Protein backbone atom coordinates (compact mmCIF):
# COMPACT_ATOMS: atom_id res chain seq x y z
CA UNK A 1 0.00 0.00 0.00
CA UNK A 2 1.33 3.40 -0.99
CA UNK A 3 1.11 6.13 1.63
CA UNK A 4 1.94 8.97 -0.74
CA UNK A 5 -1.03 11.31 -0.41
CA UNK A 6 0.15 13.51 -3.29
CA UNK A 7 -0.68 10.79 -5.83
CA UNK A 8 -4.22 10.18 -4.66
CA UNK A 9 -7.08 12.27 -5.99
CA UNK A 10 -8.87 14.25 -3.32
CA UNK A 11 -12.31 15.77 -3.19
CA UNK A 12 -10.67 19.03 -4.36
CA UNK A 13 -9.53 17.45 -7.63
CA UNK A 14 -13.08 17.35 -8.95
CA UNK A 15 -13.57 21.04 -8.16
CA UNK A 16 -10.40 21.99 -9.99
CA UNK A 17 -11.53 20.30 -13.19
CA UNK A 18 -15.14 21.40 -13.12
CA UNK A 19 -17.27 23.58 -10.94
CA UNK A 20 -20.07 21.75 -9.16
CA UNK A 21 -23.22 23.37 -7.85
CA UNK A 22 -25.61 21.39 -5.75
CA UNK A 23 -29.26 22.19 -6.29
CA UNK A 24 -31.60 21.84 -3.36
CA UNK A 25 -34.37 19.34 -4.17
CA UNK A 26 -38.00 20.19 -3.51
CA UNK A 27 -38.46 16.88 -1.71
CA UNK A 28 -35.95 16.56 1.15
CA UNK A 29 -35.87 12.75 0.72
CA UNK A 30 -34.71 12.96 -2.90
CA UNK A 31 -30.97 12.88 -3.46
CA UNK A 32 -29.33 16.15 -4.40
CA UNK A 33 -28.43 16.59 -8.06
CA UNK A 34 -25.24 18.24 -9.21
CA UNK A 35 -25.14 20.86 -11.92
CA UNK A 36 -21.90 20.60 -13.90
CA UNK A 37 -20.27 23.90 -14.82
CA UNK A 38 -17.33 23.93 -17.21
CA UNK A 39 -14.66 26.26 -15.78
CA UNK A 40 -12.54 26.07 -18.94
CA UNK A 41 -14.83 28.55 -20.76
CA UNK A 42 -14.18 31.47 -18.38
CA UNK A 43 -10.50 30.56 -18.52
CA UNK A 44 -10.52 30.83 -22.32
CA UNK A 45 -12.30 34.19 -22.07
CA UNK A 46 -9.69 35.42 -19.60
CA UNK A 47 -6.91 34.31 -21.93
CA UNK A 48 -8.47 36.12 -24.88
CA UNK A 49 -8.83 39.32 -22.82
CA UNK A 50 -5.22 38.99 -21.66
CA UNK A 51 -4.13 38.54 -25.28
CA UNK A 52 -6.07 41.68 -26.20
CA UNK A 53 -4.12 43.61 -23.56
CA UNK A 54 -0.88 42.37 -25.08
CA UNK A 55 -1.98 43.13 -28.66
CA UNK A 56 -2.91 46.70 -27.70
CA UNK A 57 0.43 47.23 -25.96
CA UNK A 58 2.28 45.67 -28.89
CA UNK A 59 0.78 48.09 -31.41
CA UNK A 60 1.20 51.09 -29.11
CA UNK A 61 4.84 50.10 -28.56
CA UNK A 62 5.40 49.57 -32.28
CA UNK A 63 4.03 53.01 -33.13
CA UNK A 64 6.10 54.61 -30.36
CA UNK A 65 9.23 52.78 -31.54
CA UNK A 66 8.73 54.01 -35.11
CA UNK A 67 8.26 57.56 -33.88
CA UNK A 68 11.30 57.26 -31.60
CA UNK A 69 13.45 56.08 -34.51
CA UNK A 70 12.18 58.98 -36.60
CA UNK A 71 12.95 61.40 -33.76
CA UNK A 72 16.48 60.06 -33.33
CA UNK A 73 17.14 60.08 -37.07
CA UNK A 74 15.97 63.68 -37.38
CA UNK A 75 17.90 64.71 -34.28
CA UNK A 76 21.13 63.13 -35.44
CA UNK A 77 20.79 64.36 -39.00
CA UNK A 78 20.66 60.89 -40.58
CA UNK A 79 21.07 60.57 -44.33
CA UNK A 80 17.53 60.80 -45.80
CA UNK A 81 18.66 58.85 -48.89
CA UNK A 82 19.46 55.73 -46.84
CA UNK A 83 16.97 52.89 -47.46
CA UNK A 84 16.43 52.13 -43.76
CA UNK A 85 15.89 55.78 -42.88
CA UNK A 86 13.43 56.12 -45.78
CA UNK A 87 11.59 53.02 -44.54
CA UNK A 88 11.26 54.43 -41.02
CA UNK A 89 10.12 57.81 -42.37
CA UNK A 90 7.54 56.15 -44.64
CA UNK A 91 6.16 53.87 -41.90
CA UNK A 92 6.04 56.59 -39.25
CA UNK A 93 4.62 59.38 -41.41
CA UNK A 94 0.92 58.40 -41.01
CA UNK A 95 1.34 58.50 -37.23
CA UNK A 96 3.41 61.70 -37.14
CA UNK A 97 1.39 63.70 -39.69
CA UNK A 98 -1.50 64.74 -37.36
CA UNK A 99 1.01 66.31 -34.97
CA UNK A 100 3.32 68.05 -37.48
CA UNK A 101 1.93 71.55 -37.03
CA UNK A 102 1.67 71.65 -33.24
CA UNK A 103 5.16 73.03 -32.60
CA UNK A 104 7.89 74.40 -34.77
CA UNK A 105 10.98 72.41 -35.62
CA UNK A 106 14.28 73.53 -34.13
CA UNK A 107 17.05 73.25 -36.74
CA UNK A 108 20.75 73.15 -35.88
CA UNK A 109 23.06 72.51 -38.85
CA UNK A 110 21.75 69.29 -40.43
CA UNK A 111 19.90 68.10 -37.34
CA UNK A 112 16.35 69.01 -36.38
CA UNK A 113 14.57 68.69 -33.05
CA UNK A 114 10.90 67.95 -33.74
CA UNK A 115 8.84 68.62 -30.62
CA UNK A 116 5.69 67.27 -32.25
CA UNK A 117 7.17 63.76 -32.41
CA UNK A 118 7.55 63.77 -28.63
CA UNK A 119 3.91 64.83 -28.28
CA UNK A 120 2.87 62.10 -30.74
CA UNK A 121 4.73 59.42 -28.75
CA UNK A 122 3.05 60.53 -25.53
CA UNK A 123 -0.40 60.64 -27.17
CA UNK A 124 -0.09 57.14 -28.68
CA UNK A 125 1.13 55.77 -25.37
CA UNK A 126 -1.85 57.34 -23.60
CA UNK A 127 -4.26 55.97 -26.24
CA UNK A 128 -2.87 52.46 -25.67
CA UNK A 129 -3.10 52.91 -21.91
CA UNK A 130 -6.69 54.15 -22.15
CA UNK A 131 -7.73 51.21 -24.34
CA UNK A 132 -6.23 48.72 -21.91
CA UNK A 133 -7.92 50.44 -18.95
CA UNK A 134 -11.30 50.41 -20.70
CA UNK A 135 -10.86 46.73 -21.44
CA UNK A 136 -9.91 46.11 -17.80
CA UNK A 137 -13.08 47.83 -16.66
CA UNK A 138 -15.21 45.72 -19.01
CA UNK A 139 -13.35 42.41 -18.40
CA UNK A 140 -11.11 42.53 -15.30
CA UNK A 141 -8.29 39.98 -15.57
CA UNK A 142 -5.03 39.78 -13.64
CA UNK A 143 -1.79 37.98 -14.40
CA UNK A 144 -2.35 35.77 -11.33
CA UNK A 145 -5.26 34.13 -13.13
CA UNK A 146 -2.76 32.47 -15.46
CA UNK A 147 0.13 31.67 -13.17
CA UNK A 148 -1.64 29.33 -10.79
CA UNK A 149 -1.53 25.65 -11.58
CA UNK A 150 -4.66 23.53 -11.79
CA UNK A 151 -4.09 19.96 -10.73
CA UNK A 152 -5.92 17.37 -12.82
CA UNK A 153 -6.00 13.63 -12.58
Within a domain: residue 100?
Answer: yes
CA 27 from chain center: how many Å?
50
pLDDT of residue 140: 80
Mean pLDDT by 10 residues, the chain (153 residues): 51 48 57 52 74 92 95 90 94 92 80 88 96 89 62 51
CB 89 within 8 A of CB 80: yes
Please give the residue range of the domain that contains residue 97: 47-147
pLDDT of residue 117: 92
Within a domain: residue 31?
Answer: no
Within a domain: residue 72?
Answer: yes
pLDDT of residue 10: 53
Q: How far apart are CA 6 and CA 29, in angstroms?
A: 36
In the chain, the number of structural domains is 1
pLDDT of residue 1: 47
pLDDT of residue 14: 47
The three-state (H, E, C) secondary structure of the chain, written as one string:
CCCCCCCCCCHHHHHHHCEEEEECCCCCCCCCEEEEECCHHHHHHHHHHHHHHHHHHHHHHHHHHHHHHHHHHHHHCCCCCCHHHHHHHHHHHHHHHHHCCCCCEEEECCEEEEHHHHHHHHHHHHHHHHHHHHHHHHCCCCCHHHHCCCCCC
Within a domain: residue 88?
Answer: yes
Within a domain: residue 137?
Answer: yes
Within a domain: residue 139?
Answer: yes
Q: Read off the pTM.
A: 0.64
Nearest-Å Rg of the Cα atoms of the chain is: 28
Amino acid sequence: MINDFAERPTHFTQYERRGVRASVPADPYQPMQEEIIDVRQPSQERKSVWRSYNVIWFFAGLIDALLAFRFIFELSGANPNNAFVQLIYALSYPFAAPFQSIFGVTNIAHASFDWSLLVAMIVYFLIGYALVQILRIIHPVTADDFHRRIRTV
